[in-house]
Structure 1
Amino acid sequence: MNSNLNQGGLYGREILIPENPVSRFLFVSTRSAWIWLIIRIYVGYEWLSAGWGKLHSDTWTGAKAGTAIQGFVKGALTKSSGDHADVAGWYASFLQNAVLPNAKAFSYVVAYGEVLVGLGLILGLLTGIAAFFGSIMNVSYLFAGTVSTNPLLLVLATWLVLAWKVAGWYGLDRWALPKLGTPWQHHPRQGGSKEQPPIGG
């Protein structure tokens, strides 16, 4: 019986599970794009303002580039000891051996990375990718023991990644993504020549 299922039965064919109305509205329909626009602008502004300040800071991208990162890392390392350390040992080791010796390079990566993520989200350009890299930075700060707005921004960035198909509809993704071949184009229905209506149509 199991052999028959594997060859052509339950395990041998693809099953498409339809989306529920809520997830379809949030992550597939362009009718929810205004919600993601608000979230995008908020998260994007937070990143852009943080990065812009670093671009104009001597300790991040100026003559003393790297000193801010060094101070941040040393502060994080002090939180990696004790019975209830805020920074895990493996991450403290990464900070000590990878980030600290290359503080200047990481300083530029962080400053320009924050600005690019902010611009990507505000303009709605490659929204899912911008939100993904923003979430990576949020996680990095959280691993280093810095809470601040990082938990909130991480949650919102995760939602934006899930909603990448429609999150940039009111933005440059509306034109950029079709040129990349995803996701807003007509696809032929299986078993016929008719085309599916566009998302949100």
Structure 2
Amino acid sequence: MVEVRKGTRGKEIIIEENPLSKWLFSNTNSAWIWLILRLYIGYTWLTAGFGKVTNDAWTGENAGTALGGYMSGVMETAADGVVAGWYATFLESVVIPNAVVFSYMVAWGELLIGLGLIVGLLTGIAAFFGALMNMSFLLAGTVSSNPVMLVIAMLLVLGWKVAGWYGLDRWALPKLGTPWQVKRKEE
């Protein structure tokens, strides 16, 4: 890839992409690396989501109780300064009053992210939402595997063009197109 920019005096400046990133993010020969990363975090999300979707405290009659209990613990640590003040305010004023809705969003979100990553469909989008959830858990003070999953998800977002090559994206992305792709009129 070559990047062309206008310089300060109107000249075009061409900046070559380095060979490693060009190979990793644009070459389908690197797709096997992305497949391994995709399957690892996809399985992690899928099993976590399945456990929540089939749990009454997340999506059944008692929906919201598990998330409410988790939020109580988060708010206790917020008083100790473990959770950023602005995030604690967001949790207290938005998430906790709507615990049932957020409970369903977390449970089904984890399951769908896992499925998307495992089958390689809209991989970049699935990875983005996975990273968003990992960041939310980290902001709430839950470390666990979230930092590793966040880094892998960010890499998958960057490698979206080839990350789903061994998956449904191989056929879906050419059909869906990209925002910068010029649609040609059929003659």
TM over 0.5: yes
Q: 2:41 — aligned with what?
A: 43
Structure 1, residues 50-109: CA drift from partner, whole Å, max 9, x if none?
A: 000001101000110000110111100011123xx2101111111111011100000000
Residue 124, structure 1, aligned to residue 120, structure 2: yes
57 and 14 in structure 1: CA distance in 2 versus 1, 3 angstrom threshold: farther
Displacement of 1:16: 3.7
Please state whether the residue corresponding to 1:12 is helix, strand or coil.
coil
Q: Which runs of 4+ in 1 moved over 6 A?
A: none
Q: 1:22 — aligned with what?
A: 20
Displacement of 1:12: 3.0
Are the equivalent residues in 1 in contact too, given 2:37–2:152 (CA < 8 A)?
Answer: yes
Matches within 5 A, 1:138-149: 138-149=134-145
Residues in 2 aligned to 1:13 and 1:68: alpha-carbon distance in whole angstroms: 59
Aligned partner of 1:155 among 143, 151, 155: 151
Aligned partner of 1:63 among 58, 61, 64: 61
Q: 1:72 — aligned with what?
A: 70
Aligned partner of 2:109 among 106, 109, 113: 113
Residue 104, structure 1, aligned to residue 100, structure 2: yes
What is the root-mean-square deviation in Å for CA atoms of aligned residues?
A: 1.8
Structure 2: which amino acid aligns with 1:25? Answer: W
Structure 2: give runs of 5+ residues left out of the alignment: 1-5, 182-187
Q: 1:170 — aligned with what?
A: 166
Q: 2:131 — aligned with what?
A: 135
Are the equivalent residues in 1 in contact too, given 2:7–2:13 (CA < 8 A)?
Answer: no
Structure 1, residues 153-190: CA drift from partner, whole Å, max 9, x if none?
A: 0000000000001000111000000011239x9xxxxx
9 and 58 in structure 1: CA distance in 2 versus 1, 3 angstrom threshold: closer
User: Which structure is higher in strand share?
Assistant: 2
**Given the two structures, how large is their TM-score scaled by the length of structure 2?**
0.89
**Given the two structures, how large is their TM-score scaled by the length of structure 1?**
0.83
174 and 91 in structure 1: CA distance in 2 versus 1, 3 angstrom threshold: same
Q: 2:3 — aligned with what?
A: none
Structure 2: which amino acid aligns with 1:59? Answer: A
